Amino acid sequence: MTHNDLTFKQCNEQELIPFELLLLADPSKKLIDEYLKTSKIFVVEKNEKVIGTVVLQIISEILCEIKNVAVLPEFQGQGIGKYLIENITLVARQSNFRTIQIGTANSSIGQLYLYQKLGFELSEIRKNFFIEHYNELITENGIQAKHLLMLTRVV
Ligand code: ACO
C-alpha cells in the first residue's frame, strides 16, 4: 500500500491535542494528561485532516516508549497504524535511541498481532496493571484486560 497522500509530523504547542484519537487507545484522560507532560505527539494527516496519532515518551537516553497509537475508525485497516509505528521508529532511530517499547493489554489481540508483525517482542508482563490503574472494567474480544504486556524492538 502506498501512502503518498499522507503527512507525518510532530504537533507543535499551538495545535490542538487530538484527544478524540488518544481516548480511542487509552480510556483514561487522567493517565493521558500525565504522560503527555513528558511526551511528544505526532500526527498523520490526509488532505490536511488529522486521521491518526502516535505519542512518544522518553524513558532514558537509550529507551523510548510508544504510549499511544490510534487511527480514526473510518481509516482503520488501511495500513495507517503500521505507517505511524514505522515512522515513529524512524524518529527514535534518528534521535539515537537504541530500543523502543510499546505496552498493550492481554486482551488486545489485534494490536499484539500488529506489534509483533512489526518486529516487537514480548519483554515484560505487568500483572494486574489494568485492574489497578483503571476504575472501569475493560473487556475486548470477550477477554478482560488485566495485564499489561510490554513489547520491545531495536530501532
Ligand atoms: N484486529 C486484527 N488485526 C488488526 C487489528 C485489530 N484490531 N488492528 C490491526 N490489525 C492488523 C491488520 O489486519 C494488518 O494486518 P496485515 O498487515 O497482515 O494486513 C496490520 O495489523 C496493520 O494494520 P493497520 O491497517 O496498519 O492498522 P490500523 O490502521 O487499523 O491501526 C490501530 C491499528 C492503531 C490499533 C487501530 O486499529 C486503532 O486506532 N485502534 C483503536 C485504538 C487502539 O487500540 N490503539 C492501540 C492501543 S495500545 C497503545 O496505544 C500503546
Task: Give the closest residue to 68 by CA, choosing from 27, 109, 106, 116.
Answer: 27
Any residues with Cβ below 6 Å from ligand 1, and which? 24-25, 66, 68-71, 76-82, 102-104, 110-111, 113-114
Tell me the three cell numbers of residue 62.
537509550
Q: Who contacts 67 (Cβ-Cβ below 8 Å, separation ≥6)?
A: 26, 35, 39, 55, 56, 57
- Give, using CA atoms, the residue closest to atom 15 of ligand 1: 114
| Number of Cα atoms under 13 Å in the Cβ half of residue 38 | 11
| pLDDT for residue 2 is more than 80 | no
Least confident segment among 7-21, 39-53, 104-118? 7-21
pLDDT at 114: 98
Cβ–Cβ contacts within 10 Å for residue 73, how many? 8
Least confident segment among 3-17, 124-138, 140-154? 3-17
Least confident segment among 8-12, 41-45, 64-68, 118-122? 8-12
Whole-model pTM: value is 0.94
| pLDDT for residue 68 is more than 80 | yes
